Structure 1
């Protein structure tokens, strides 16, 4: 057998490491145990990042992609267990998603923009300004069913030198935007204290976004829900959930409409009605999560670790 190329190899092929020093999943509702059995166990896929964020499954490459924001790398976990560098020396890339063309879309704290990487490795800017002024530091991004890219633009990358470049805001507000690649237009959708994670309900009629301003002395530790109107504008917001302990940094919505959100205690799971269903504890503060193919596995970023847990009812 030929030796593996090592130029971008960070972990060789092999099985994951079980995590023994963590409590098992905790059900608060019987429905939770049908999806996350009590016997399900967390395991570690990688443990050498500095601050992991922005996980997403990239079907074109059949890998789990996530950002080591402070390590300035985008990493890729392969199903055989190896981990490779996807992009090196990044401009503090944080959130990632996949668009309808199969390209990887990035939020860049350093360059204060959205960018893309094609499956062939071509890298380019997507959008850099709103109303002629630079964004703050785009943080998280999601692709809507119509192909529009919705993204949050808090100020973290302007204030944390380990995660961006110190600067004053050109805009004076922290907002959620909708960028339409077909027309090149960008719309300012809503302002929040520090908008962060975002996602759509399965039918696309509800938009969720978190305010994590508690991290900077505010009171935001909240996921808000907005109706999406026929013209893609947002209706009146309502509080969907307040996360304790910590903040809902990043989250995903599954096909049931459940929200799986990061918190200081691990991944908290809420029903579509906002009822707390259960918790997947993590040894460290959890920053984000995403599903693998078929929602059979949940991937979790948590400081230097990439964790995973296998799910039932997939």
Structure 2
């Protein structure tokens, strides 16, 4: 069946009047009044984004169509990437802000962060069981697994990137650059050469997702916030010391800056193309302590060679039908298409995921009833797109596979 798209539908005057509950006689008598009422009434954000209404609750009625009404092909080629008889599933809900999904292929589980609740969660493939994986997590954000199966995590609270070793120990990979603390490492991914790349915007410098600066710092200039409350004592004196940046950790531990604030303001999610020759980086809005407007909700791309990134340029402004679908988390599939989480705010119907060709053309999108923060491919065949969206975890099977480990 053809999916109804309320986000792009147009309505006649008669439809508008029916919605307002006004009879036909009133139309003839005072059409100007009716139109004025319609123009000045601010509708509540809709609770669903499909017609017929859809529920994502575990006990909801089946809602499988060919296609799922919320998997939308913008370009016909997207029909070769999406799976026609696969429904979007809500696997779990209960987070405050879900982020950083990563698939563990050996354990067959999905790991993700619930940043404000200071924990990492785990969903098991075999029975869908969800439990707390790690708490406290130091307000971890982005996670991924390297090619040896070790977990990489970006920690807002401690302003560092860590690796969980196979024997259970923890290695601090990066907490300073040229003697200065990082802001709040956000997302992390391994390159094919074994180096680790991560972004460092300032979003952890707030009460909700980490800790503000000590008194006088850029996110607490008047010192009215007590950044020690509820925190271990070593957090107390930390303040923001650097601008935004993108960094590379070499196999020998050496850290270099590969992208600057001038190139990508507020760098957020990042991923490599399947062959490792491109680095995609999401640029998002201003964070705590930023003086300007921050990023503009765009995706940038760099060329990558010999451990360096160059030729930074705009990949997409993430405008869809005139709506800003702000990106956050990014992942490539094996064909080089880029899948980006979408934050369209109250533009219900545009939150979810967008999919872009290597040339930057919009191929399709997935609508979710919540803002989506991050995505990854997983499942035993690496063909399931997992979506960490605000309070919930969603998934949909695709006809493609994610490039490399999650």
Global fold match (TM > 0.5): yes
Contact 1:151 1:177 in 2 (8 A): yes
- What's the counterpart of residue 152 of structure 2? 105
Aligned positions, number: 297
- What's the counterpart of residue 305 of structure 1? 392
Task: Verify: 1:185 aligned to 2:257, yes or no.
Answer: no
- Taking the TM superposition and a 5 Å limit, the aligned residue runs for 1:47-86 are 47-79=93-125, 80-86=127-133
The separation in 2 between residues aligned to 1:312 and 1:223, in whole angstroms, is 24
**Structure 2, unpaired ranges of 5+:** 1-56, 218-238, 344-350, 402-406
What's the CA shift for 1:60? 3.4
Find runs of 4+ consecutive structure 1 residues off by over 4 angstroms.
15-20
- What's the counterpart of residue 199 of structure 1? 271
What's the CA shift for 1:102? 1.4
CA RMSD across the alignment: 2.1
Task: Verify: 1:218 aligned to 2:294, yes or no.
Answer: yes
What's the CA shift for 1:78? 0.4
The separation in 1 between residues aligned to 2:336 and 2:72, in whole angstroms, is 20
- What's the counterpart of residue 374 of structure 2? 288
1:282 to 1:17, Cα distance in 2 relative to 1, 3 A: farther
1:173 to 1:299, Cα distance in 2 relative to 1, 3 A: same
Contact 1:29 1:277 in 2 (8 A): yes
- What's the counterpart of residue 23 of structure 2? none
What TM-score, normalized to structure 2?
A: 0.69
Task: Verify: 1:172 aligned to 2:218, yes or no.
Answer: no
- What's the counterpart of residue 354 of structure 2? 268
Superposed CA deviations along residues 268-294 of structure 1, whole A, max 9, x for unmatched, are: 000111100011000010101100143
What's the CA shift for 1:218? 3.3
**Structure 1, unpaired ranges of 5+:** 1-14
Larger Rg: 2
The separation in 2 between residues aligned to 1:24 and 1:183, in whole angstroms, is 45
1:17 to 1:266, Cα distance in 2 relative to 1, 3 A: farther
Contact 1:210 1:221 in 2 (8 A): yes
- What's the counterpart of residue 47 of structure 2? none
1:214 to 1:262, Cα distance in 2 relative to 1, 3 A: farther
- What's the counterpart of residue 152 of structure 1? 199
The separation in 2 between residues aligned to 1:255 and 1:122, in whole angstroms, is 33
- Higher percent of residues as strand: 1
